[in-house]
Amino acid sequence: MLSNEKRELLRTMIPKAVLKAITPEAKHSIIKRTFHQDIIPIYNYPFRMGREARVKYIDGEVILQERHKLSGQEPNNDVYLLDNGEYLQISREHCNILKTADGFTLQDRGSACGSMVNKFSIGGDDHDGSVPLNDGDIITLGSKESPYKYKFIVLENEIDNL
């Protein structure tokens, strides 16, 4: 049995949810791999996702360019993903994951190709939209042909079961 002190410490360290890459392309899209090779941790909501636009490819290697900071301006996204496709699927400001009173929602941010939760499409053609999101759902960033697929896994209530 965990002490209250350890439980509170774990609550700050363990993400509230994660996105687990389920395709090789989705795994390759994750630039900062500080948590695990195929996991994107979600610590706060809304969680904003979008495409990394400051990259160069030199001899097949991805080189991030310095992001020029505008005074006081926050980043547009909580995670920046690489989109190496011939046709871009991930928009610079693609979608949000929100926590609501009823659970979770995936909200498209007016992306060009839209998003999918399981087989349900939202957004696209620069329109927004939202759909309920449940533990275990598959999120596709882009069109139905997009290889950028992630499984949404909720963790925040699991600490109490330790």
Averaged pLDDT for residues 28-38: 75
User: Which residues are paired to 41 by β-bridges?
Assistant: 18
Q: What is the pTM of this model?
A: 0.83
Our measurement of the distance from residue 94's CA atom to the centroid of its chain's CA atoms, rounded to an integer in Å, reads 9
Strands (E) in the chain, as ranges, are 17-21, 39-42, 47-51, 55-58, 61-64, 79-81, 95-100, 103-108, 115-117, 120-122, 129-133, 138-141, 149-154
One of 1.20.210.10, 3.40.640.10, 2.40.50.100, 2.60.200.20 is the CATH number of 4-161, namely: 2.60.200.20
Closest CA to 55 of 26, 110, 19, 92: 92
- Quick: pLDDT tens for 105-137: 999 999 999 999 999 999 988 788 999 999 999
Confidence of residue 54 (pLDDT cuts 50, 70, 90): low
